[in-house]
């Protein structure tokens, strides 16, 4: 069944009488029969990392309602004309299996020398390839984002046989599963979103590593320590979690911190250096940086030789 999208623009700045234009416009779309309402930035003002409890919106937004194809567009346009909102466009959307649409554009990707992430409708024909089967799902983590990319490249280069790994903020489970496919012995995968825990279970089964990975919600305390801690979250949660994550490290463990913007690097490093960690590597992509540290760099040379 085809659908109709109708878009209107507004400013989110309060108009002086305490009304919230965005809320009014969203409610107008819902009341007009929309089955979904989407708000996007009308300009180019990215919001990267809201503070705890903050839900900022852009100053100028485009609000799109998804309607049954039979919706009376002229009526909605006329109703908008009587308001301060600006009617932008209406268009017909052919019915599709939207999850597959994403998948159709998702090609195998290589990270480092041998690690590949490959959707189920593709194959990787390359000697020595380590191939992870992964389809985009509801949880974050397909490898297309720079922060994940940098972590996968680190794993490709550094994971050693039988190491134990903590994947903190596992999303789809991509990092923990990659570590197992590259030779790690066991992985603990933590996420505060149940959807991510479920996705990790499914993706681990698809890659035949389910018996070596334990996906779960965060705990108040952890009993084990690990050879590698990898966390692709964001700068502020990484700082907040610095004590928890360093407590999870074995004496010679590596910790890999991603999801950090270049301008935030010094804050994150300072939080972990205060706990005795020494940073020995950083890689950068699209304005994001991935940091690697140990308790002491003295043994790094021995490991690498």
Ligand X SMILES: C[S@@+](CC[C@H](N)C(=O)[O-])C[C@H]1O[C@@H](n2cnc3c(N)ncnc32)[C@H](O)[C@@H]1O
Residues forming contacts to ligand X in the complex (CB under 6 A) are: 139-141, 147-148, 151, 169-171, 174-175, 190-193, 196, 218, 232-233, 237, 259
Closest distance to ligand X from the beta carbon of 165 (Å)? 12
Nearer to ligand X, 10 or 148 (CB): 148
Distance of CA 99 to the CA centre of its chain: 17
CA dihedral sign, ordered 154, 144, 197, 185: negative
CA dihedral sign, ordered 198, 248, 114, 287: positive
Nearer to ligand X, 65 or 259 (CB): 259
Closest distance to ligand X from the beta carbon of 11 (Å)? 30
* 288-294/226-232 β-pairing: unpaired
Closest distance to ligand X from the beta carbon of 130 (Å)? 17
* Token pair belonging to 47: 């919001």
Nearer to ligand X, 10 or 164 (CB): 164
Nearer to ligand X, 49 or 91 (CB): 49
d(CA 165, CA 225): 9
Closest distance to ligand X from the beta carbon of 144 (Å)? 9
Nearer to ligand X, 131 or 139 (CB): 139
d(CA 102, CA 256): 29
d(CA 267, CA 234): 12
Q: Which SS3 state, helix, strand or coil, does residue 294 take?
A: strand
Closest distance to ligand X from the beta carbon of 190 (Å)? 5
Nearer to ligand X, 26 or 191 (CB): 191
CB atoms within 10 A of CB 246: 19
Closest distance to ligand X from the beta carbon of 143 (Å)? 7
- Residue 254 β-bridge partners: 228, 294
* Token pair belonging to 161: 């046989």
């Amino acid at each position: 069944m085809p659908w109709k999208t109708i878009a209107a623009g507004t400013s989110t700045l309060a108009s002086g009488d305490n009304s919230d234009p965005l809320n009014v416009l969203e409610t107008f779309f819902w009341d007009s029969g929309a089955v979904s309402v989407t708000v996007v930035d009308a300009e180019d003002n990215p919001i990267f990392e809201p503070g705890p409890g903050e839900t900022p919106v852009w100053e100028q937004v485009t609000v799109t309602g998804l309607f049954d194809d039979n919706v009376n567009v002229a009526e909605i346009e006329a109703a908008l004309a009587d308001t301060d909102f600006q009617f932008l466009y209406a268009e017909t959307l052919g019915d599709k299996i939207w999850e597959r649409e994403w998948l159709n554009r998702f090609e195998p990707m290589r990270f480092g020398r041998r690690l590949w992430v490959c959707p189920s409708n593709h194959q990787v024909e390359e000697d020595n390839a380590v191939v992870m089967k992964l389809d985009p799902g509801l949880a974050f983590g397909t490898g297309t984002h720079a922060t994940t990319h940098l972590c996968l490249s680190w794993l490709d280069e550094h994971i050693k046989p039988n190491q134990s790994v903590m994947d903190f903020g596992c999303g789809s489970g991509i990092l923990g599963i990659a570590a197992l496919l590259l030779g790690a012995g066991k992985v603990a995968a933590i996420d505060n979103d149940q959807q991510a825990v479920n996705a990790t279970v499914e993706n681990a089964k698809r890659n035949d590593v389910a018996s070596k990975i334990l996906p779960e919600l965060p705990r108040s305390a952890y009993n084990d320590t690990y050879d590698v801690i990898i966390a692709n979250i964001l700068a502020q949660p990484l700082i907040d979690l610095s004590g928890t994550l360093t407590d999870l490290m074995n004496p010679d463990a590596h910790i890999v911190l991603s999801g950090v913007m270049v301008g935030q690097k010094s804050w994150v490093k300072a939080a972990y250096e205060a706990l005795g960690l020494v940073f020995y590597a950083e890689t950068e992509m699209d304005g994001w940086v991935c940091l690697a540290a140990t308790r002491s760099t003295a043994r790094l040379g021995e490991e690498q030789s």
